[in-house]
Amino acid sequence: MIKKAFCFACLIALPVNAFSSNLVELYDQAIESDPRLNVSRANKDVGSARYDQATSRLLPQVSLSSTLTDNNRTLLQTGSSDHYKGEKYNLGVQQKLFDLNAWHDRKRYQHLSEESVARLVEKEIEVTTDLVARYLDVLAKQDAEELIVAEKNATKKQLELLKSRYKRQLATITDLLEVEARYDVMLADEIKARAEVEIALETLSELVGRPIEDGLPKLAETIGDFGDIGNLEGWTERALRDNPSLRSKAFQVRAQEAGLRQAKAVDYPTVDFALSAQKSDIGFENSQSSRTETYVASLNFSMPLYQGGSGSARKAESRALLRIAQFEYEEVRRNILKSLRASFLNTEASQARIVAAKNALDSAEKSYEAQEKGLTYGAVTVVDVLDALRERYRVRRDYRQAQYDYVTNWISLLGLSGELSASHVIQIDSWRAE
Quick one: average pLDDT of 215-231?
Answer: 80
Q: How confident is the model at residue 83, as a pLDDT?
A: 85
User: Which residue ranges form the domains of the chain, and what is each CATH number?
Assistant: 6-33+99-269+304-429 (1.20.1600.10)
pLDDT above 50: residue 244: yes
* Calpha distance 93→73 (Å, rounded): 34
Instruction: Report the DSSP beta bridge partners of residue 280.
Output: 88, 292
Max CA pair span of the chain? 141
- The H-assigned helical ranges of 272-381 are 310-376
User: Per 3-state DSSP, what percentage of the chain is helix, strand, and coil (rounded to 5)?
Assistant: 70, 15, 20
Question: Quick one: pLDDT band at residue 275, thresholds 50, 70, 90?
Answer: very high
pLDDT above 70: residue 259: yes
Looking at the chain, the whole-number percentage of residues with pLDDT higher than 90 is 63
Question: Quick one: pLDDT band at residue 14, thresholds 50, 70, 90?
Answer: very low
* Calpha distance 249→349 (Å, rounded): 31
pLDDT tens digit sequence for 333-383 = 999 999 999 999 999 999 899 999 999 999 998 998 898 888 777 778 888
Looking at the chain, the whole-number percentage of residues with pLDDT higher than 70 is 94
Quick one: average pLDDT of 107-132?
Answer: 96
Instruction: Report the DSSP beta bridge partners of residue 293.
Output: 279
- Please count the other Cβ atoms lying within 10 Å of the Cβ belonging to residue 382: 21
Q: How confident is the model at residue 273, as a pLDDT?
A: 96
* Calpha distance 218→224 (Å, rounded): 14
Query: 237-241 — which CB contacts under 8 Å span 24+ positions?
Result: 238/417, 238/418, 238/419, 239/336, 239/337, 239/340, 239/416, 239/417, 239/418, 240/333, 240/336, 241/418
Mean pLDDT for all residues in the chain: 88
**Alpha-carbon distance values, 197 to 133, 138, 184, 243, 392 (Å):** 14, 6, 20, 34, 22
Quick one: average pLDDT of 194-206?
Answer: 94
User: Who wins on pLDDT, 54 or 166?
Assistant: 54
**Alpha-carbon distance values, 247 to 39, 250, 254 (Å):** 19, 5, 11
Q: How confident is the model at residue 226, as a pLDDT?
A: 63
Quick one: average pLDDT of 265-289?
Answer: 88
Q: How confident is the model at residue 373, as a pLDDT?
A: 85
- Rounded to a whole number of angstroms, the CA Rg of the chain reads 37
Where residue 34 falls (left for φ over 0; alpha for ψ -120 to 50; beta otherwise) is beta
pLDDT above 50: residue 323: yes
Quick one: average pLDDT of 29-42?
Answer: 94
Q: How confident is the model at residue 221, as a pLDDT?
A: 80
DSSP 220: P
Q: How confident is the model at residue 377, as a pLDDT?
A: 74
Rounded to the nearest 10 degrees, what angle do helices 382-417 and 422-429 cross at?
160
Q: Are 155 and 185 in contact (CB under 8 A)?
A: no
Question: Quick one: pLDDT band at residue 413, thresholds 50, 70, 90?
Answer: very high
pLDDT above 60: residue 7: no
Residues whose CB is less than 8 angstroms from the CB of residue 432 and which lie 6 or more positions away in sequence, other chains included: 19, 22, 217, 218, 219, 220
Q: How confident is the model at residue 219, as a pLDDT?
A: 85
Question: Quick one: pLDDT band at residue 5, thresholds 50, 70, 90?
Answer: very low
Which is it for the CA torsion 67, 72, 75, 76, positive or negative? Answer: negative
Quick one: average pLDDT of 35-47?
Answer: 96
